Structure 1
């Protein structure tokens, strides 16, 4: 068994987990949806989710993906790319809601996530932030899109909550004013947003410590050591 780096290996500090300094602003939640259709049901579900989150005390912002270029088909200075990245940096939690198309999330949804880098300079914009995943379907209930979103959430180092929502035959779940009708699907969305709020309040003060990794501390220490050695030459 290899010896662990003594300086990088640290005992768990319970004080950083149990009693952090509380934040005094409302939890900041960003909502992303995966369709640019005029009557997008993933947008409508996201709007319902935002209303619920506001009732729970969150501050919400929603990104409109219309006009966002395909990944690698524009420079990162594109206004829509900059808008998305700034919103991700602002957020402490996120909601991703995609339609299911051909058994998968939409390209619109994936493009948004692909424009979010794992790192912006020394900042990892999604690491340690909470995430709720949802999907809408035109037919029977499915979980293909939310399962894919979970994989992406893990890859982006988000704290993805256990609960999720999948709305079947979404076109039947909204009235003529584009408000969601009372149903078990609506109740599940309330459940998911409630859980997201609880996880966000529980983790946001602790996020940096929760995702602080031995391997990364070791790598950082080695890089610093190399720089010091180079300067001494």
Structure 2
């Protein structure tokens, strides 16, 4: 190749779009919001971050519950308000309606929370049915309001054998589907039956250290995003729809 000859002679130059008036003729320009720093909150809430904790086992000595209890202690140390939902008595989805007391309790806590921690045992390579049932009882929309949208989420799992990440991987997908801000860190406690004292407190270990990491990170992300969650998860596609159209689309009774 001679000097000055192009290395990629068949690649066309990028088009000049600097003078474009619209991204597309299909765009509804009044709904195309350009994010700027002024869109973010300039003042911040001063109440304690409100964190809901869910666990996925009904055993008397439930290691996912013990992890959640340790997490609640850490949350309170880091200045948050923690509430643990007890899944005992929660019916299977579609066997009762939303007037059931445990369903109402769960949904009210979902609305109350600004962030959440989910911890499930890994069973048959996945999260437990109890964990999934709790999430399935929470619709994507309640009267046009999404109860989980924009809330922060931390995910953890416990295993009876070697360390695995199947349950947390599934919960990460669920968190995205529920339009939650799932934090990067996560925890997986292997051979959980070896990690707790008889009184239910967790022994010092790298597993415990990782739980501290996750809880601390969740509080940071919650403080950072809770006053901006509506802006952060706002969607152009929904701004061009009317509220009535959105409600019809996300509340399809036939599904």
Q: TM-score band (shorter)? A: over 0.9
Is 1:153 aligned with 2:175? Answer: yes
Match of 1:43 among 65, 68, 84: 65
Is 1:58 aligned with 2:80? Answer: yes
3-state SS, counterpart of residue 154 of structure 2: strand
Question: Counterparts of 2:118 and 2:25 in 1: how far apart (Å)?
Answer: 41
Q: Which residue of 2 aligns with 1:6?
A: 29
The correspondence of residues 91-110 of structure 1 with structure 2, limited to 5 A, is 91-110=113-132
Contact 2:144 2:243 (8 Å CA) reproduced? no
Match of 1:203 among 225, 232, 235: 225
How far is 1:221 from its partner? 7.7
The correspondence of residues 134-153 of structure 1 with structure 2, limited to 5 A, is 134-153=156-175
Question: Counterparts of 2:26 and 2:97 in 1: how far apart (Å)?
Answer: 44
How far is 1:220 from its partner? 2.2
Question: Counterparts of 1:207 and 1:179 in 2: how far apart (Å)?
Answer: 34
The one of the two structures with greater contact order (alpha-carbon pairs below 8 A, sep at least 6) is 1
The correspondence of residues 117-196 of structure 1 with structure 2, limited to 5 A, is 117-196=139-218
How far is 1:20 from its partner? 3.0
Pick the structure with more helix per residue: 1
**Deviation sequence 1:160-210 (CA, Å, 0-9, x none):** 000000000001000011100000000000000010000000000000110
3-state SS, counterpart of residue 23 of structure 1: coil
TM-score calculated relative to the size of structure 2: 0.85
Instruction: Say what the alpha-carbon RMSD is for the aligned residues.
Output: 1.4
Q: Which residue of 2 aligns with 1:230?
A: none
Question: Counterparts of 1:221 and 1:111 in 2: how far apart (Å)?
Answer: 28
Show structure 1 runs of 4+ deviating over 2 A. 220-224
Q: Return the index of the structure with the highest Cα Rg.
A: 2
